[in-house]
Homo-oligomer: A and B are copies of this chain.
Amino acid sequence: MAQKPSIPKGTRDFNPLEVSRRSYIIDTIKKHFELYGFMPIETPSFENSETLMGKYGDEGDRLIFKVLNNGEYLRKVDSALLADKDETKITSVISDRALKYDLTVPFARYVVQHQNEIAFPFKRYQIQNVWRADRPQKGRYREFTQCDADVVGSDSLLQEVELVKLFDDVYSDLGLNGCTIKINNRKILAGIAEVIGAQDKLIDFTVALDKLDKIGEDKVKQEMIDKGISRDAIDQLSPVFALVGTAQEKLVVMKELLQTSTTGQEGIIEVETVLDHVSTLGLKTTLLDLDITLARGLNYYTGCIFEVAAPHGVSMGSISGGGRYDDLTSIFGMKDMSGVGISFGLDRIYLVLEELDLFPETVRAGVQVLFINFGKQEASYCVDWVFRFRESGIKTELYPDDAKMKKQMTYADKNAIPYVVLAGEDEIAAGKLTLKNMLTGEQQSLTPGDIISRLS
């Protein structure tokens, strides 16, 4: 019986226009990655489960898509275990592989596995799909594309400066003006936790602080209290909640607050260095701002962290993020390899460009010229020219059947083909072709050579 076709929740088909627009974003990002000296690598869609599991916290583990082993995968499962239906114990026995959840952990795996072939510092970019069994919502899919650039093997803050400039170059080139690049530093967060005496609750503290934008000051404070951070400690946070002004002005306040924390001071100097450098170099269309409440969920960050917000008025979570991690490769046995990287979320950038109507008109797939098919003999005459047009780099198509003229014209219209060529008896006799501009309706009898030089 025929099935009603559909696709899994959270996944998408892309039509020709969507593919072209996605390619436009990818090509722009790629261009700048390469100008900055990043080199492309790719890793498999699925990794050995043990490479991924345990790297993203319990929530991450839950959201990783596992691939079922082939063949008689149940045979080696203990029958008692099976009777218990305890997935937490059975999954690792019936599934050796899992779809990748981000590009960073597979990249760390790649660096360790191929360390002898790599000249460090290693600057790589990677544009690939990742999968998460998350609840789908606007801008969140179960299969989506990340565009990452990372440098490992250098702890120079110049990298952070370059990455900020890279954000600015990409978003400016996409015409997405007015983005805000938020910067913070994990050491500043650690410093705050230290000076308010909550260093043993650093994670609870940052998780709560991270929500300031979404739930407001009162609820953040309540969450901190719920997590066992003292009211006294929270009262000391008031300068943090009250922070206003330029990044430089905020730094003055934070320096004061963190004067007793060595770690905190380190974080401030790092951010200050990046801000100074960037301000000397200048940014085109983005604003670099210090956001002390920025925490970034992932545990592996240790230094500067970044997030990019779309221009005001666009309701969309962050469209890019990143940060410095000092020890990511150690999970695969390679110590002291500092890294820093950023990630562009292709799918969200797409939605923002679409909402703001920023895709150039020229970004579209499709043929430039359709030859109308009047019948066997005319088609034979045309087909030769079709191939010569293509040789000249013109995207050309001959309608495959001698369908009614109206049907062929509708086809050209629906596919937004800008020109059609008509060649009937008269044209064949004269060695010419009639070129019709589908937008203006204008028709001209021309030699094929004239048409080629006009369109190529």
State the A residues within 8 Å of B (CB): 2-8, 11-16, 18-20, 22-23, 34-37, 39-48, 50-51, 62-63, 65-68, 70-75, 77, 79, 82-83, 85-87, 90-91, 94-97, 99, 109-110, 112-114, 117, 119-121, 123-124, 129, 131, 133, 143, 151, 154-156, 158-159, 161, 165, 169, 277, 281, 330-333, 365-367, 370, 379, 383-384, 387, 390, 393-398, 400-401, 410-411, 414-415
- The answer to whether B7 touches A44 (Cβ under 8 A) is yes
A44 to chain B: closest residue by CB: B11
Max count, chain B CB within 10 A of own CB: residue among A6, A62, A67, A398 = A67
Query: How far is B389's CA from A343's CA once the two chains are assembled, in angstroms?
Result: 24
Interface SS of chain A: mixed
Query: How far is B277's CA from A312's CA once the two chains are assembled, in angstroms?
Result: 59
Query: How far is B133's CA from A71's CA once the two chains are assembled, in angstroms?
Result: 10
Query: How far is B370's CA from A138's CA once the two chains are assembled, in angstroms?
Result: 42
Q: Chain B residues with Cβ under 8 A from A384's Cβ? A: 281
CB distance from A37 to the nearest CB of B (A): 3
Instruction: Choose among B91, B387, B393 the residue that contacts A68 (Cβ–Cβ < 8 A).
Output: B91
Q: Chain B residues with Cβ under 8 A from A90's Cβ? A: 74
Instruction: Choose among B50, B62, B120 the residue that contacts A3 (Cβ–Cβ < 8 A).
Output: B50
Given A68-B94, A401-B154, A8:B46 Cβ within 8 A: yes
Given A37-B367, A281-B384, A393-B35, A8:B123 Cβ within 8 A: no
Instruction: Choose among B4, B18, B41, B83 the residue that contacts A13 (Cβ–Cβ < 8 A).
Output: B41
- The answer to whether B35 touches A14 (Cβ under 8 A) is no
Instruction: Choose among B6, B14, B43, B75 the residue that contacts A113 (Cβ–Cβ < 8 A).
Output: B6
Q: Chain B residues with Cβ under 8 A from A48's Cβ? A: 6-8
Given A7-B43, A379-B158, A400-B121, A70:B133 Cβ within 8 A: yes
Instruction: Choose among B7, B20, B82, B394 the residue that contacts A47 (Cβ–Cβ < 8 A).
Output: B7
Query: How far is B42's CA from A91's CA once the two chains are assembled, in angstroms?
Result: 31
Q: Chain B residues with Cβ under 8 A from A77's Cβ? A: 85
CB distance from A120 to the nearest CB of B (A): 8
Q: Chain B residues with Cβ under 8 A from A165's Cβ? A: 387
Query: How far is B68's CA from A398's CA once the two chains are assembled, in angstroms?
Result: 46
Q: Chain B residues with Cβ under 8 A from A44's Cβ? A: 7-8, 11-13, 143
Query: How far is B159's CA from A397's CA once the two chains are assembled, in angstroms?
Result: 11
Q: Chain B residues with Cβ under 8 A from A14's Cβ? A: 40-43
For the complex of A and B, the 3 pairs showing the least CB-CB separation, nearest first, are A2-B333, A37-B397, A11-B44
- The answer to whether B95 touches A68 (Cβ under 8 A) is yes
- The answer to whether A383 touches B281 (Cβ under 8 A) is yes
- The answer to whether A109 touches B79 (Cβ under 8 A) is no
Q: Chain B residues with Cβ under 8 A from A19's Cβ? A: 39-42
Given A16-B40, A67-B66, A411-B119, A158:B398 Cβ within 8 A: yes
Q: Chain B residues with Cβ under 8 A from A151's Cβ? A: 400
CB distance from A78 to the nearest CB of B (A): 11
Given A15-B117, A44-B7, A400:B365 Cβ within 8 A: no
- The answer to whether B63 touches A65 (Cβ under 8 A) is no
Q: Chain B residues with Cβ under 8 A from A41's Cβ? A: 13-16, 19
Given A13-B114, A158-B400, A332-B5, A365:B68 Cβ within 8 A: no
Q: A7-B51, A11-B46, A22-B42 are in contact. List 12 more A-B contacts (CB 8 A).
A: A2-B331, A6-B48, A8-B97, A19-B41, A37-B396, A65-B68, A66-B68, A67-B68, A82-B82, A155-B401, A156-B401, A159-B400
- The answer to whether B70 touches A13 (Cβ under 8 A) is no
CB distance from A268 to the nearest CB of B (A): 19
CB distance from A281 to the nearest CB of B (A): 6
User: Would you mind naming 29 contact pairs between A and B with Cβ atoms under 8 Å apart?
Assistant: A2-B331, A3-B332, A4-B333, A5-B51, A5-B112, A7-B47, A13-B110, A13-B114, A16-B39, A16-B40, A16-B124, A20-B40, A35-B396, A36-B396, A45-B45, A45-B131, A63-B70, A66-B67, A68-B68, A68-B91, A72-B87, A79-B83, A154-B400, A156-B400, A156-B401, A158-B379, A158-B383, A277-B383, A281-B387
